[in-house]
Each structure stands twice: as C-alpha cells, then as structure tokens.
Amino acid sequence: MVASTSLSEQHAVVIGGSMAGLLAARVLLNHFGRVTVLERDRIPDQPSPRSGVPQAHHVHILLTQGQRILEQLFPGLEAELAAAGAPQVNWTKDLSWLSMWGWSQAVPSDLCTRPCSRALLEWLIYQRLAQEANLTFLPSTRVTGLVANAQKTVITGVQIKTNQGTETLSADLVVDASGRNSTLSKWLNQLGYESPPQTEINSFLGYSSRWYQIPDHWQAPWKVMLIQTKPPDHPRGVVMYPVEGNCWIVTLVGVGHDYPPTHETDFLPFAQTVRSHEVYDAIHQAQPLSDIYSYRRTENCWQHYEALPRLPEHLVAVGDAVCAFNPIYGQGMTVAALGALTLDQCLDQTAGKFPLQGFTPIFHQQLAQMLVVPWLMATSEDLRWPSTVGPTPNWQTRLMHQYLDRVVQASLDRSYIYRTFWEVIHMVKPPKALFHPQILLPALRLG
C-alpha cells in the first residue's frame, strides 16, 4: 500500500488548548484532513478561568493587529464579543496614559478593539472550533512524550495519558503549544537532540489584579487608564480597563521585586503610591467582585529552535513554548495570532504535499523573523531597569531608549506622532514608521 502524498489526508496534533494552540488548530484545518487538540484541563461549558491559564484573572489585552487576525480566522467574532457585553475601546481616544513624560492626548484612530476576559475570548473560539467536523478536542489529556521512527529523524506521534490509561496517538505533524511549561526540550534530549539555546531577560516585575463593578452613573473622559512606571525611581504602575459584565480589571504593577500586595488591606494603599491617583479615586469606593490574584512569572524567555543544527521532522513549537514575553506589555495573544499566520503561510508553501520534508527548520526560521520586533519591544523596556537580569543593554538599545523617549515626548502635542506610536505598539505598523521625517525631525529637535 502506497502512503498518501496529500496533506489533506493527514493528521495534525496540537499539544495544548492555549490561545496559541487554538489558533494553530484553526489554520491546520486549512491543510490537514484531521486535527486533534490535546488539553490537560477540562474544557468549560461556559466562560470560566482554567487552572492551566494562571493569568486568566489578569489583564489580557488583544492588540488591534491581533483582533484583526482573529476576525479574519473567525469572521463575526467581534460581533459575538459585542453581544457578550465586551465594550469597544478606541486606543488613542479612550486611553488616558501617564507616560514617563506626561499625560497623553485624546486622538481618534481606527485602533479599536473589544477588551474582554481571557475566559470569554477562549470560550468563543472553542465554540467556533467545536463546530468543525474534522477537529477533535481531547480534554483531561496529558502528553508524556514524543514518538519517533526507528532512526529518530521523524516524529510520528505522541504518548498520551488519560483517565483510561496510557496510549500512543499517531500524527503526521505535532505542534507544541503547551506554553511556558513546555517540556519539548526534555523530549528532544531523550531522542538524542540538543536543547535549544535560550535567551532570558527578567525585570522581576510582578502584578496583582482585582475585578470591580463599575459604579452606576460612572462618567469619565476615558475608558482605559494606564499609569506607567518610570525608571529608575518609580517602579510602580497600574492599568485599569473595562470588560464584559460592566466590570473593571485593575492590575497593580511593581518592578524589581517591588511586588504588589495580595492582601485585602494593602491593595488600595499600593494603588495610592503610583504616580497619579486616578485609579485609586475610581475604585476606592467601588464594589470588589473578586479576590486579589497575583502573578510573578514575567521573564522574557526565547527558546531558539531556529538556531539548532538539526531537529526531527514533522515537529514544530508555537506561542510561549518558543517565546514567552513579559505579559504586562500585552503582546502574547497577538504574537500567537501572528504565529498562526506564519504556520499557515509555511504550510501553503508545501503546496499540500506530504511528507513535510524540511518544513520544521523553515517554519522556525520564519517564526523567529516574526518574533524579532515584539521581542525587542518588550525586552528593551525591561532593560531600562538596573535590577534586570539578562544581556547588558548594548549601545543600540541605549540609543533606541533615547530616541523612543523623544518620540513619546513629541507625541504629547502632535496627533500624527501619537497615532503612529500606538499603531506601532498595536503591531499595525512596523517600528520603522517611527523614523518617518514627520516624526524623526520633531523628535530630534527635542535634543
């Protein structure tokens, strides 16, 4: 019997029902006849946080580029978010931002998204994918290892453990989307492969979040409040934004081990110590709706699979399993969406042929190219702090800090610069847009 050479008759397996895993599963449906998602948690029947998503109670900003990609993959998703009560935010008009150089202006733009809880967004995507006849979810399933051919050059499946016991699940492509806790490096070692080089940059930032009911008749000229830290003397900040259910999520931030409190009596006093009292004034008489949730695993960590001299075929990694960012910058879900598009484009290049000879290194090279910009955006900010552990900032990073500071200063009273700056933050435009003469010249004059 001759094996099929059509990708459409093959089976792809995704390890992890994370946002990266769900989006990878969606694009795999464009190419594979069957897709299976393996998830350790039970899949909820309504929006609710999962134990496998420790940040579920915290800030989860989907940037404009991310929302546009999700709308492309799941047409009508924004309307479903609106129907579920997610408010609309224009990120240059509705944001009040105290930067290191002063308060922002209000400028209309097309940078509009619908902030919501991670649980709601995940659940809506689950519901969409559950309608796909060729996709199967296997909840309460743990992957314990990879299965390879006799030469250990091609991955042919995974070992899984369920409530019924241990078994082998065959696969023609395995996608690791298991997040920061990925054990892919260990599995590769067991097959005789090297671990990928790793770059880690840690500013020891932590945050604590609490949900509040928005008071009746609340009025303000802003919907989102961001009070930024200011190196090196002001390590505390706060962000507050609305989500479904007429709620605020309030997240207190501290850098350099200055972690926000987890105790009831200390949350509001910490909010008073940031550089402005707007958030404290809004919440000190508001009704809390949740406990205080803390998160401190915020190091930026890049597993450089693209640098390995060899990898087994038919295996790739996506999302935080490859590159995890400091979550406070809100890039994670958007980068996951960009990673899914990269996976889709690389599979398009195979012209639907099987086996996927050479696919693994090609994908990781292209993924690495996409990751460069968000990595620099996150780590350059963390490297401003003297307490940060990681590679010493080089002269290019220091020069970039100086230039970006001038851009932000210039944006405070120039609408074009302000709008372009946030278009770059939302990954709608590349960083080179900040070097347009209409931005470069005013920024340099500030020197």
Q: What is the per-residue pLDDT for 398?
A: 86
Q: Quick one: 185 and 318 in the same domain?
A: yes
Q: What is the per-residue pLDDT for 122?
A: 94
Q: Quick one: 365 and 267 in the same domain?
A: no
Q: Cα-flanking dihedrals φ and ψ of residue 56, to 5°?
A: -60, -30
Q: Quick one: 411 and 437 in the same domain?
A: yes
Q: Quick one: 160 and 229 in the same domain?
A: no
Q: Residue 3: is it exposed, middle or buried by C-beta count within 10 angstroms (0-12/13-18/19+)? A: exposed
Residue 101 DSSP SS3: coil
> Would residue 72 count as lying in a domain?
no
Give the amino acid at 431: P
> Would residue 67 count as lying in a domain?
no
Q: What is the per-residue pLDDT for 2?
A: 43
Q: Cα-flanking dihedrals φ and ψ of residue 255, to 5°?
A: -110, 155
Question: What mean pLDDT do residues 328-354 have?
Answer: 93
447 pLDDT tier (thresholds 50, 70, 90)? low
> Would residue 256 count as lying in a domain?
yes
Q: Quick one: 233 and 266 in the same domain?
A: yes
- Span 231-277, pLDDT tens digits: 999 999 999 999 999 999 999 999 999 999 999 899 999 999 999 99
- Span 77-113, pLDDT tens digits: 999 999 999 999 999 999 999 999 999 999 999 999 9
Q: Quick one: 131 and 31 in the same domain?
A: yes
> Would residue 160 count as lying in a domain?
yes
Q: What is the per-residue pLDDT for 6?
A: 82
The CATH number linked to 185 is 3.50.50.60
Query: Which of 295, 312, 331 is a domain's end point?
Result: 295
DSSP 44: P
Query: Residues 6 or more apart from 376 whose CB is under 8 A from it?
Result: 400, 431
> Would residue 277 count as lying in a domain?
yes
With 60 as the cut, is the pLDDT of residue 3 above it?
no
Q: Quick one: 329 and 290 in the same domain?
A: no
| Under 8 Å between Cβ of 302 and 198 | yes
DSSP 226: E
> Would residue 90 count as lying in a domain?
no
Distance CA 56, CA 119 (A): 7
Q: Quick one: 289 and 305 in the same domain?
A: no
Query: Which of 295, 319, 353 is a domain's end point?
Result: 295
Distance CA 447, CA 443 (A): 8
Residues of the domain holding 244 = 204-295
Q: What is the per-residue pLDDT for 1?
A: 37
Distance CA 154, CA 359 (A): 11
Closest C-alpha among 416, 445, 374, 412 to residue 101: 412
Query: Which of 295, 330, 349 is a domain's end point?
Result: 295
| Under 8 Å between Cβ of 410 and 104 | no
Q: How many domains does the chain have?
A: 3
DSSP 198: E
Distance CA 358, CA 138 (A): 29
Task: Indicate the pTM of the whole model.
Answer: 0.95
The CATH number linked to 243 is 3.30.70
Q: Residue 256: is it exposed, middle or buried by C-beta count within 10 angstroms (0-12/13-18/19+)? A: middle
Distance CA 299, CA 416 (A): 33
Q: Quick one: 318 and 355 in the same domain?
A: yes
> Would residue 81 count as lying in a domain?
no
Q: Quick one: 171 and 305 in the same domain?
A: yes
Q: What element of type H or E holds 439?
A: helix 437-445
> Would residue 348 count as lying in a domain?
yes
Q: Quick one: 30 and 134 in the same domain?
A: yes
| Under 8 Å between Cβ of 37 and 25 | yes
Average of per-residue pLDDT values in the chain: 94
| Under 8 Å between Cβ of 26 and 347 | no
Q: Quick one: 366 and 221 in the same domain?
A: no
Both tokens of residue 220? 């303000």
Q: Residue 165: is it exposed, middle or buried by C-beta count within 10 angstroms (0-12/13-18/19+)? A: exposed
Distance CA 333, CA 336 (A): 5
**What's the distance, Cα to Cα, between the start and end of the chain in Å?**
73
Distance CA 94, CA 13 (A): 41
